[in-house]
Structure 1
């Protein structure tokens, strides 16, 4: 083991990400940690992850605080060798009245540890080698040379400084920084929150209850709807907007997934000369085929999106120009070099709406999967994305995106291409429409397909050929699937 202090720099947790927000520390100064043990929870622009330590030893310095945005490549944690002297900085003395040590303080301390382990309430991604042991405090012990390890032992909670507020008739305290941050982010005054813990300790559930009560009380007021989240919506301060003359209802920091979406869409619009083609499609035969499969196997029939995904991968094999990437770089002579990079395979992304925003997980090597296998993988990725467990690789490796916005009840969309891909296929809702079949007017199940594509990688003929192939596959699914 190294005898020198080792500094772990925040790694790039995705494709070229430059920063991450520190959500919560999973260790403290003085903890003994092992290699690959999760040390912090961070939110990147793509996902929530647990960061593992590449070093074993004693935590010496934590470079950052919860809620702070850290740059990739900057120090995250310093680790000293086992046996080194590590001093734990005491908490600053609070301005409020101190409370004498009592048995209830020990109970409060245990509650604090429980609250901290519970984290922010978001489900985070496992990152690195699995194996969940908790960080453990090390007590002074003798070394072979007879010297005692000076690493601070478990803190004396009898001396723990508590941030306290007074509620008439009882003592109330908040000792978890996560609880304080939650209250601050949602504009909840701790003076008005009765603590349900021992000796009036305010727990996370008390803040959540207060947030729910505030929402119910303000529900009748007609103000613009604002989603509150762990990113922190700052409540109204009565400031008047200079341009409109209206009172500012709230200010929401743009970060995490929303920040990534904003940057990605802006870059797509500014760099990609996109064009759009669309076509109405009779999906009656596809719906009838799936209904028949569902009769035979009620639980194993693939969903409609899986069939369309199968048609898309087959179409991309025939029109590979839409499964590429356009790259601009500087050549050795200092000039500009442009390339179209083709891929030996298809990673099919699909748009999934989650509580944290729109994400695009991708089915890797989708061209190798049949409709049933695609259905299984789409369902799995949708579940992990909504639970916040999708890995950066699953969220950032797509080569083409399929967007089923029909689930939101709309027919079409002028989609923005998911940069750095070069095309996106959108599927609208399937509805009854009058349709001419064999010269006769009939009511059919019709949907609209919309293809947005980068005009630098192909012309309209290629885009139209791909779109027509997928449309024909939907209208004659039995014939196409038999050929796949």
Structure 2
């Protein structure tokens, strides 16, 4: 008899996750709450601890496979039970797990851990886009992963099946896996032989070049190269070729899948309208410099505009709303939970500053700075990515002036900040050079009419043009 460890409820309505890496193998002895697998949900990458101690009997799934809540991740046999009797894929002598028995259960771990007594034999694992894999196959691949076979005469010598180089980044692991090899088999160029993304991309180029030089491309369809959805398509071009005939398939999974679903829902359900306004931001930069002189502290322009936005939502609270389609009601939120759109290595994410309405300008600045520090790798806690009531998007950092943004469903509006550049501006009937920014706002026309949206936008614009005017509303 063995115990089954089911994929738990990861919280925040997440029902599926992708296996990133197994931290144990069949035959390993584990203890309660020992991390056994690393999974990636739509919100974050987490290590799951086992609710049981004993001997790992079977693993269900392999890296890259998507599993759903309630599905079996692994089975754990009693330490004194022969692993093969419990369906183990590797027959090895097993020692007793310290401080654990069959009746032991886990302490407080993730919400909704599903653990049951196993009454059925091990089953075959459906591995989705990777094909059907048995537990024996999965264990064998974990023990000695092998790259996709290519002609021996041209096989790049970079891969070594006996090598186990350190690989830290999940993106690097996925990029290699999607192209048919294990990143740890490469000789890393980073510190302490760490495998970097550039190492994987170089090997992908080598694989592509080898395939093109040893086989004739089919006439009916060009070759297809599969890469991870991390912007690696451009780097997959073989060296020395300006035009590549290979198609590229980019899997829509993980965070990208959730973003796609949310944006599609927004476009389908929300009758949106867009307004925009050019604003003279010269006085805003002067106010920022005055704050530095007066306090010795730096305040970013984004933090100051965020403060204006929060004040504007207090003046026009209906924009801090969402639509309950089931009850056909507008839910006007009391708290302002300000989302800050961020471009990360995992894609577009919107971390939320909860309770922004109760923060001082200094507190709001520090909260935004904390989000910016986490943005490069997208390591936000799941709770930081939910509950937003209004989104601020500074796409000016991407070098564009404006955008008809898509509302972050189920919110009712989003405000965009374009790039701030010097432009000719008329002041007192004379031309002058001023720092100008374009504000663009998209709003749900079910929630308010253009007058309300325009009132909010011009309020924020007045605060940017004359920051002192905000004092009247404090």
TM-score by length of 2: 0.71
Shift of 1:349: 0.5
Counterpart-to-counterpart distance in 2, 1:144 and 1:468: 65
Counterpart-to-counterpart distance in 2, 1:169 and 1:440: 69
2:201 pairs with 1:211: yes
Contact 2:263 2:408 in 1 (8 A): yes
Query: Which residues in structure 2 correspond to 1:43-54 (within 5 Å)?
Result: 43-54=40-51
Contact 1:35 1:53 in 2 (8 A): yes
2:68 pairs with 1:71: yes
Identify if the C-alpha distance between structure 1 residues 293 and 138 changes in structure 2 by more than 3 Å, giving closer, same or farther: farther
Shift of 1:89: 1.4
Shift of 1:53: 3.5
Structure 1 match to 2:250? 252
Query: Which residues in structure 2 correspond to 1:360-439 (within 5 Å)?
Result: 360-439=350-429
Shift of 1:419: 1.0
Structure 1 match to 2:323? 326
Shift of 1:84: 4.6
Counterpart-to-counterpart distance in 2, 1:64 and 1:227: 21
Counterpart-to-counterpart distance in 2, 1:368 and 1:170: 56
Contact 1:29 1:61 in 2 (8 A): yes
Secondary structure at the counterpart of residue 398 of structure 1? coil
Identify if the C-alpha distance between structure 1 residues 304 and 26 changes in structure 2 by more than 3 Å, giving closer, same or farther: same
Unaligned residue ranges in structure 1 (runs of 5+): 92-136, 146-159, 198-202, 220-225, 239-245, 330-336
Contact 1:236 1:250 in 2 (8 A): no
Structure 1 match to 2:127? none
Structure 2 match to 1:21? 18
Secondary structure at the counterpart of residue 325 of structure 2? strand
Counterpart-to-counterpart distance in 1, 2:275 and 2:98: 75
Counterpart-to-counterpart distance in 2, 1:144 and 1:51: 18
Contact 1:273 1:456 in 2 (8 A): yes
Q: How many residues align?
A: 394
Structure 1 match to 2:119? none
Identify if the C-alpha distance between structure 1 residues 448 and 210 changes in structure 2 by more than 3 Å, giving closer, same or farther: closer
Contact 2:282 2:436 in 1 (8 A): yes
Query: Which residues in structure 2 correspond to 1:341-352 (within 5 Å)?
Result: 341-352=331-342
TM-score by length of 1: 0.69
Shift of 1:404: 0.4
Secondary structure at the counterpart of residue 435 of structure 2? strand
Counterpart-to-counterpart distance in 1, 2:466 and 2:370: 28
Shift of 1:449: 1.1
Shift of 1:379: 1.6
Structure 2 match to 1:478? 468
Structure 1 match to 2:89? 89
Shift of 1:214: 5.9
Contact 1:232 1:253 in 2 (8 A): no
Contact 1:361 1:382 in 2 (8 A): no
Unaligned residue ranges in structure 2 (runs of 5+): 102-142, 168-172, 210-224, 239-243
Post-superposition CA distance 1:425-451 (Å, at most 9, x none): 001111222323344432221111111
Contact 2:255 2:347 in 1 (8 A): yes
Identify if the C-alpha distance between structure 1 residues 277 and 196 changes in structure 2 by more than 3 Å, giving closer, same or farther: closer
Q: Which moved more, 1:286-295 or 1:170-179?
A: 170-179
Shift of 1:303: 0.4
Shift of 1:171: 11
Identify if the C-alpha distance between structure 1 residues 444 and 141 changes in structure 2 by more than 3 Å, giving closer, same or farther: closer
Identify if the C-alpha distance between structure 1 residues 422 and 168 changes in structure 2 by more than 3 Å, giving closer, same or farther: closer
Give RMSD over aligned pairs. Answer: 4.2
Counterpart-to-counterpart distance in 2, 1:204 and 1:448: 43
Residue of 310, 314, 317 corresponding to 1:317: 314
